[in-house]
Amino acid sequence: MVFQKATKQKAKLRMALTGPSGSGKTYSALNIAQYLGKKVCVVDTEGNSASKYANLFDFCTLSLTDCHPNNFIKAIDAAVAEGFDVIIIDSLSHAYNGKNGLLELADREKMKISNQFQAWAKVAPIQNALTQKLLTAPIHIVTTLRVKTAYDMQEENGKKKPVKIGLAPVQKEGIEYEFDVLAEMTPENMFIVSKTRCPELNGQIFNKPGKDVADILNAWLNDGVEAAPAPAPATEQPAVQPQAVSVQAAAPKPSVQKAPLKLQTAAPKKSAPAQAQQAPAEPVSAGMEAFPEKGLFERVGVLAEIKNSGQGKWELFLKGAKEALVTFSQAMNIQAVSLMGKAVKIKAVVNNPGQYVLLNIAPAN
C-alpha cells in the first residue's frame, strides 16, 4: 500500500440528466453526445422513444424491455465491444423501478423472508455491480433519470399558475454521487448544473444544451495523461435471465416490442358479448392512475388478466375462465390459492404510491 503523487488523467464522461417529463432529457442527451464522439448508441427503456429523433441525430439503439440491472451491464459491455464512443442510457430509472428492476427483485425476496433489510441485502450486490460498471467502463456514459414530480403555484404577471417541478431522482438513494456532472432539466429545456467535477461548468446554466456543453466537457476530459486501463470487475450472475443484447441502427418509426404477458384493465362486469370492446378502467382510488398494461408476474405457465370490479377491487382471471381466481385491493393482500394444480401465493402491493400496483405470483412455501 503506497501513496503516489496525484496526476490529472484523461477520462471518460459520467453524466446524468434529471428532470420531469417534457424537460428535454433525451433530446439534450443526444445533442450533447453527438459532439462527444462519432459513434453514439442509446439503451432505450422508454418504448423506443429515442428513435423519434433518428431524423435529427445519427445513432444506434438497443431496446430493453427486461430492465434487470445485469442487462444494463451487458448493454454497456456490448457498446464497448462494438467500438461506440458514447452510450446514452435512457432511462437509468428503469433499472430501479422497471420490469425486473431492483424494486421488483427486492419485492420477490420480501415474499420469501419477512425481514425487509435482509431482502434488500440480497439484491444490493446486483445494484453494486451496475454502479461499478458505470464507473469503470471505457466509454462516455450519459444517463437520463426520471424524477418524482409535484406542482407548485407560482406567480406570473400577477396571476398564479401551477408549474411542474422535479424532486428526487427515481433511482437507488445516493446515485447522484456516482456522476461527474449532474444537471437538472427544466420544463423550459434549461440545463442547470447542480453538481460537477469540471470547474468550468460549476454553477452554469445553458439553454437547450448541445455543442456549448460538449466543448467544455471535451477540453476537461482530454486534459491530462493517458489513464491506465482499469481491471474488469467480476459480476455475479443475474437472478433473472437477461435478454440477449444486440445494438441496431435507429429507425424513425420502430416497431414496439410487446411483453409476452399482458395485463389488461376492463370496466366493471356487464352482460355484453365477449368480443365487445372493453371500456376504459376506472381509477383504483383518488390519486391513483388506472392499472397499467404491465406489471410483475412470476410466470407459472398460464396467461391471466386483471379486471376492475369497481370500488378499488380487482379480480384475477385465468385466460378464458369465467370465474375470478382471486379478488384483491390496493392494500397488501396475500392469499394462498391453487393455480393449475400448483400451490401459489398472490400478493398485490402498491409500488410508489399513487403510480401503479404490482401483482406478484410466487410458489407457496
Grid cell 382471471 is found at 317
Cβ neighbours for 2, distance < 8 A, ≥ 6 positions apart: none
Q: Burial, 164: exposed, middle or buried (Cβ in 10 Å; 0-12, 13-18, 19+)?
A: middle
CB 44 within 8 A of CB 63: yes
Cβ neighbours for 131, distance < 8 A, ≥ 6 positions apart: 175, 178
CA atoms within 13 A on the CB side of 363: 4
**Exposure class string for 215-251: b at 16+ Cβ within 10 A, else e:** ebbbebbeeeeeeeeeeeeebeebebebbebebeebe
CB atoms within 10 A of CB 128: 15
Q: Which residues pair with 145 in a beta bridge?
A: 18
Residue-level pLDDT, tens digit, the chain, 365 residues = 999 999 999 999 999 999 888 899 999 999 999 999 999 999 999 989 999 999 999 999 999 999 999 999 999 999 999 999 999 999 899 998 889 998 898 888 888 887 778 888 888 899 999 999 999 999 999 999 988 755 566 676 777 766 655 467 777 777 888 999 999 998 899 999 999 999 999 999 999 999 999 999 999 999 989 877 655 544 444 444 455 555 566 655 444 343 333 333 333 334 334 333 333 333 333 333 333 333 333 333 445 666 777 666 767 766 566 777 677 665 444 566 665 556 666 665 444 433 334 456 666 55
